[in-house]
Amino acid sequence: MCGFVCLWGVGDEDLAGRMIRQISHRGPDALAVARLPGAPVVMAHCRLSIIGTEDGAQPIHQTDDLLVVNGEIYNHEDLRAILGESAFETASDSETILHLFRSGASRWISRLDGMFAFVLATRDRIIAARDPLGIKPLYMARLGDGVAFASELKAFDGVPVTSVEFIPPGGLYDTRDGWRQWYRTPHGAAEAEEGLDIAQTAKELRLVLEEAVAKWMVADVEVGSFLSGGLDSSIIAAIAQRVRQETGRGPLRTFAVGVEGAPDLMAARAVARHIGSLHREHVFTADDLAEALPHVIYHLESADVDLVRSAIPTLFAARLARREVKAVLTGEGADELFAGYTYHHDYVDDPRALADELTRSLGTMHNINLQRVDRVTMSESLEARTPFLDRDLIDFAQSIPAALKMRRTDPDAIEATGPTTEKWILRKACADLLPADLVWRKKAQFDEGSGTVDALQQALRRLAGTDAHVDRTAEAALYTRILRAQFEDAERILQNAGSWTDQRVAV
């Protein structure tokens, strides 16, 4: 995992160096600036070495091409075998991008399986692209007569850029051929067709999920797992523990955070005992939250109330995990794929609208939940991996009818979380992995289950200098003030922020 900057038609190595240092937290293992001779391009890169740790330095310069990459290509070994091992100069998974491009195939980028953002330059052309759901960030801006790219908005802070925008998820920008949308999220199914075998659907879902977790654990360093005690992270951790056992490795390292006595901490302990992970936890206080807020908001690049609230426990989890590992698995994406949010219950009698809403929310994750996961973990030089957002898993999950994701249930039944049960098919598929009271535990948002909401209210009162309740409007204003105080071009940051409720499908 890494961060990068690219300047095309600008040619200022000092500027590239200054910009990369503003995001150097993304890659503390190495920092380099390079120019492609005979071309109007300068690239800068900061590296967190995960695959090809010995010889995977970037920018990658081979003959007339220069490449910077952020992310992981999980099928790089298969691609090496297809492309020819003799063409490769390093063990880095990132190098596969260069050789796929050189293959001349019209849809070469579609063969990449992973989470990534990259910029590739030849002597007369530059290509910038992003993974299907935008797990890894990439921004583009105008700089004079040239173009600037960066992994985070803060790299542009204090730089006279204009027209700042994100490269869209599954998008590709080519200075020669213009824009392409190389990946489109498949639209979700609604009602179950007649004769659908639900048991077989659940079984197949489990197999696809197991393959995704195993794939997303590929690394030359140890990969741990966040464990909130909720369904999503517990499923990922349980499968990951089995992968480690089957490959003869030691127990999975799991990490949980919360206030003293938080439900998430207790649930995570129970899951860790059940799967046999090597578990660590951290207890935080209201004072810790008050101290962490400026750091969270600066690195998050957003003042959105919901995003900030959920980012705070993510920060403490990242700090805890980084003491022992460089990469962690997370449960992000399950709510969007399988209808896990509280508001999804309103769609229980309209599976078509639910399917449309899930498809919409998958497309907006890149500057909401995925932005939180990327920015906050990378602020601690930790790589977060999201197996639920594996492309094969997305394709299969979107083919499962929404009517099997949110269902009306008997609230007194064991296999129910209430009169309506969210993520029903996912629970059925993974019921044997965990104790029944954990599989069918009523969902809590991470900030609620970790105890963040109540502790945050205390922290907000301290920061606002009041004994009165700080309502949502005042909380939003406080976050905006904190953000503005940390950026020269704060308006640029605020304009690019996403919102949880933008363009929701009506029900």
Measured CA to CA in angstroms, residue 245 lies from 8, 124, 205, 249, 277 at distances of 47, 50, 22, 6, 11
Distance CA 429, CA 45 (A): 41
Distance of alpha carbon 173 from alpha carbon 178, whole angstroms: 6
The label of the residue with tokens 């995925």 reads 370
SS3 sequence, 361-411? HHHHHHHCHHHHHHHHHHCCCCEEECHHHCHHHHHHHHHCCHHHCCEECCC
User: Residue 228 in contact with residue 236, Cβ under 8 Å?
Assistant: no
- Which pLDDT value is given to residue 443? 56
Exposure b/e, 232-261, CB count within 10 A at least 16 = b: bbbbbbbbbbbbbeeeeeeebbbbbbbbee
How long a stretch of residues is the chain? 507
The question of whether 2 is a catalytic residue gets the answer yes
Q: Say what the pLDDT of residue 181 is.
A: 97
Cross-strand pairs, 32:
45
Which H helix or E strand runs over 242? helix 231-246
Residue 22 DSSP label: T
Yes or no: say if 109 and 172 are a contact pair by the CB < 8 Å rule. yes
- Angstrom CA distances, 28 to 21, 31, 447, stand at 10, 7, 29
Contact predicate 144/159, CB 8 Å: no
- Do 88 and 80 touch, CB atoms closer than 8 A? yes
Instruction: Give the pair of three-digit tokens for residue 280.
Output: 């660590």
Closest to 337 measured CA to CA, from 321, 363, 317, 358: 358
Given 2, 6, 46, 430, the catalytic residue = 2
Mean pLDDT by 10 residues, the chain (507 residues): 92 94 93 93 90 76 94 94 88 93 94 97 96 97 96 97 96 95 96 92 98 95 94 97 94 96 92 97 96 97 95 96 97 97 96 97 95 97 97 98 97 91 97 92 60 87 92 96 97 88 78
* Segment (H or E) for 98: helix 95-102
* CA atoms of 240 and 138, how far apart (whole Å): 29
Contact 400, 187 (CB under 8 A): no
* CA dist., res. 35 & res. 61, Å (int): 9
Q: How far lies 451's CA from each of 142, 218, 266, 464, in Å?
A: 43, 33, 12, 20
Q: Coil, strand, or helix at residue 431? A: coil
| Per-residue tokens: 265 | 């901490």
pLDDT for the residue numbered 466: 92
Which two tokens mark 315? Answer: 């920060």
